[in-house]
Amino acid sequence: MDLDFTAAEDAFRAEARAWLTAHVPAVPLPSLETAEGFAAHREWERTLFADRWSVVSWPEEYGGRSAPILRWLIFEEEYYAAGAPGRVSQNGINLLAPTLFEHGTDEQRARVLPSMASGEVIWAQAWSEPESGSDLASLRSTAVRTDGGWLLSGQKTWSSRAAFADRAFGLFRSDPETGRPHQGLTYLMFPLDAAGVTVRPIGRLDGKPAFAELFLDEVFVPDEDVIGAPGQGWRVAMSTAGNERGLTLRSPGRFTAAAERLTGLWRDGADPSDTALRDRVADAVVAARAYRLFTYANASRIAAGESIGAESSLNKVFWSELDIALHETALDVLGPYGELSDEATEAPAHGSWAEGHTFSLAGPIYAGTNEIQRDIIAERLLGLPKGRR
């Protein structure tokens, strides 16, 4: 057992750090949940891609570096430590791409992945529906067979960044006759500017159009945009869900960097006699460290050929609660300045704590609510009996 990096891994870290030092914007970009910020973040994706830093774990033919998971973790640590911008392409990179690697065709990969890696096409996830949140398999949007493809109809909602994105991927009921909710679903990709699509942005808590609802009225999708076999959509989707909750959606680097910044903030400004606050800072630091080490252990497990299953639910609950703890504690350390929104010109650290706090509050809801994750942990990892759900 060790935590040592090889010379090659250290060199990779140094290369990433040097590149980031030279390229990370000196002034933070505007919030990616605004039109202006979205465009600026898209531009940043292009910059990353130009030097093959946007998708380091992908094969080289699609613009990556074929980096194994440990190097990806190293890159992410450097990325967030450098204060680099949030990733506007994350839905595509973390959710659609793994699905295409596992279930897509060569043609789909060649067509979809490079423009995703460069930020030219930004993807939105269209899974949830107004009546289908946690009980996703109850979804009702339909895909009806037509000449050479499918016609999509229905309503999707809470689709992150769909207000500004280019394309979306999601699940549709293609065979309503099966009588079983998990069967007869098909996984498809579609353009958000196609005839029959209406996008209505929805303001999140702070009013920014961070997600949108999609109204679909007989939107044509060719057969080549079906992922996996028609009718097998649930199975395809579930491999993506594991990615979302597990390692790839929230890398530890993000939290260790935030814990570092929190420690600095606390050292610079907090009342040293407030030991209750000190304890919360320490707990956030300990949890960020635990998350990093837990991920290293998982990376070791994956390198040894094991796979991560329901364990990804442990991660999901942990990182989402850690993210809130980090940001709440930071706002408390800021005292009266903690109230300022990220749009206040005097908001500390360009409002990144405020915006981060708003974002963190959604963590226990998206990617499968923490209640559902706790059910999965109890039933699949502890072997407790299934209850009504």
Q: Smallest distance, Å, CB 85 to ligand FAD? A: 18
Q: Please pick, from the candidates 69, 365, 378, 380, the single residue that binds ligand FAD as defined by CB under 6 A.
A: 365
Q: CB under 5 to 8 A by kind: which of ligand FAD, other proteins, none does 13 bind?
A: none
Which residues does the annotation mark as catalytic?
A: 244
Q: Smallest distance, Å, CB 384 to ligand FAD? A: 14
Q: Please pick, from the candidates 211, 255, 266, 319, the single residue that binds ligand FAD as defined by CB under 6 A.
A: 211
Dump strand ranges (E) for 48-148. Answer: 123-126, 142-146
CB-count exposure of residue 206 (10 Å: 0-12, 13-18, 19+)? middle
Cβ partners under 8 Å of residue 47, min gap 6 = 23
- Would you say 160 or 373 has its CB closer to other proteins? 373
- Would you say 39 or 277 has its CB closer to other proteins? 277
Q: CB under 5 to 8 A by kind: which of ligand FAD, other proteins, none does 5 bind?
A: other proteins
Interface with ligand FAD, residue 371, by CB under 6 A:
yes
Burial pattern 5-28, b for ≥16 Cβ within 10 A else e, equals eeeebeebbeebbebbeeeeeeeb
Interface with ligand FAD, residue 320, by CB under 6 A:
no
Enumerate residues 38-77 that contact other proteins by CB under 8 A: 70
Residue type, 38: F
Decide: 247 and 295 in contact? Cβ < 8 Å. Answer: yes
Tell me the backbone φ, ψ of residue 293, rounded to 5 degrees: -70, -40
The closest residue (CB) to ligand FAD is 133
Q: Please pick, from the candidates 44, 123, 127, 234, the single residue that binds ligand FAD as defined by CB under 6 A.
A: 127
The C-alpha angle with vertex 94 and arms to 128 and 19, in degrees rounded to 5, equals: 145
Tokens of 118: 């460069």
Interface with ligand FAD, residue 134, by CB under 6 A:
yes
Stretch that binds other proteins, among 75-83, 138-146, 231-239, 368-376 (CB under 8 A): 368-376
Interface with other proteins, residue 188, by CB under 8 A:
no
- Would you say 6 or 389 has its CB closer to ligand FAD? 389
Interface with ligand FAD, residue 133, by CB under 6 A:
yes
For the chain, the straight-line distance linking the first and the last C-alpha, in angstroms and rounded, comes to 41
Interface with other proteins, residue 285, by CB under 8 A:
yes
Q: Please pick, from the candidates 99, 142, 159, 174, the single residue that binds ligand FAD as defined by CB under 6 A.
A: 159
Q: Please pick, from the candidates 160, 174, 248, 313, the single residue that binds ligand FAD as defined by CB under 6 A.
A: 160
- The count of other CB atoms within 10 Å of the CB of residue 198 is 12
Residue span 216-255 as binding mask against other proteins, x where in contact by CB under 8 A, dash where not: ----------------------------------------
Q: How far apart are CA 266 and CA 303, in angstroms?
A: 37
Q: Please pick, from the candidates 293, 335, 341, 344, the single residue that binds other proteins as defined by CB under 8 A.
A: 293
Q: Please pick, from the candidates 49, 62, 187, 266, the single residue that binds other proteins as defined by CB under 8 A.
A: 266
Residue type, 43: E
DSSP sequence for 176-202: GGG--TTSSEEEEEEETTSTTEEEEEE
Q: CB under 5 to 8 A by kind: which of ligand FAD, other proteins, none does 268 bind?
A: none
Tokens of 363: 């963590």
Decide: 42 and 121 in contact? Cβ < 8 Å. Answer: no
Q: How far apart are CA 13 and CA 20, in angstroms?
A: 10
Count of residues of this chain found to bind other proteins when the rule CB under 8 A is applied: 49
Decide: 152 and 141 in contact? Cβ < 8 Å. Answer: yes
Torsion of CA 185, 186, 188, 190, to 10 degrees: -60
Distances (CA, A) of 193 to 37, 188, 201: 20, 15, 14
Tokens of 185: 């679903």
Would you tell me which residues interact with ligand FAD (CB under 6 A)? 125-128, 133-134, 158-160, 211, 362, 365-366, 369, 371-372, 389
Would you tell me which residues interact with other proteins (CB under 8 A)? 1-6, 9, 70, 263, 266-267, 275, 278-279, 281-283, 285-287, 289-291, 293-294, 296-297, 299-301, 303-304, 314, 317-318, 371, 373-375, 377-379, 381-387
